[in-house]
Amino acid sequence: MRIIAGSKRGMKLFSPEGMDTRPITDRVKESVFNILYSKGYPEGCIVADLFCGTGSMGLEALSRGAAWATFFDKDYRVIEILKRNIAKADFAVQSKAVCANVLKVGAAPTPEHGFYDLVFVDPPYMMSENCEADSRVGKLMFLISQQVKDDGLVILRTHEQALAQERYDKLTQIDMRSWGSMTVRFYRKNDGGKSSLDDKDSSGAAPNAEQAD
């Protein structure tokens, strides 16, 4: 895995071996960030990366100009590898790694930066099959809805055929894209009837977005 674009473009990430992680492909990550890029994200954003694994999404956001990223994962072994990636990218002063049960803490705000502009939620594959209101992921989304700023975005990666809500409290689904066996859902807090995040074509391409080699 690598950082695709921005100040650390091309940097390879350390990855855990033989552990239950579900890394996102470069193609899907680039498509997601093209959609975000077309709307001015993540430049200057306060970001949370939940079930972070190697930190791929949060580090990509920092590389592309995010102001801060907090990474959450319950596995201390994953957190140790994440810290190596943070150090390699020289993002130590712009980030924090938290070893905690994501289902309990959600995107816990930091004292320094408060609530979040952008949250990535990438639960384990089996957990993501059911994201209805009373599921573990559903309850997490309700918690996150209290931890993001008004007009903040939450990006949820699920199983392609996952049962998911169009609303979780004040989070409203405004876009959804599928690639292979996965679906990425975009939620906005306090959405005022706004249209889809991406008014480009279904590929997720945005004009002038930096492409992967």
pLDDT tens, 54-69? 999 999 999 999 999 9
Q: How crowded is residue 86: how many other Cβ atoms within 10 Å of its Cβ?
A: 22
Domain of residue 74, CATH code? 3.40.50.150
Give yes or no for residue 9 having a pLDDT over 50. Answer: yes
Asked if residue 79 lies in contact with residue 57, where contact means CB atoms within 8 angstroms, the answer is no
Residue 73 falls inside a structural domain: yes
Q: Comparing C-alpha atoms, which of 170, 168, 169, 106 is closest to residue 131?
A: 168
pLDDT reported for residue 210: 35
Q: Structural domain tally of the chain? A: 1
Structural domain containing residue 153: 26-165
Q: 193 lies in a domain?
A: no
49 part of a folded domain: yes
Of the listed ranges 36-40, 89-93, 103-107, 175-179, the least confidently predicted one is 36-40
The answer to whether residue 192 is domain-embedded is no
- Is 108 among the domain residues? yes
Report the C-alpha gap between 184 and 179 in whole angstroms.
Answer: 8
Question: CA of 60: how far to CAs of 65, 170, 200, 201, in Å?
Answer: 9, 27, 22, 23
Q: What is the pTM of this model?
A: 0.88
pLDDT band with cut points at 50, 70 and 90 for residue 190 = confident
Confidence (pLDDT) at 93: 97
15, part of any domain: no
Residue 200 has pLDDT above 60, yes or no: no
Show the tokens assigned to 58: 């949060």
pLDDT tens digits, 153-186: 999 999 888 999 999 999 999 999 999 888 999 9
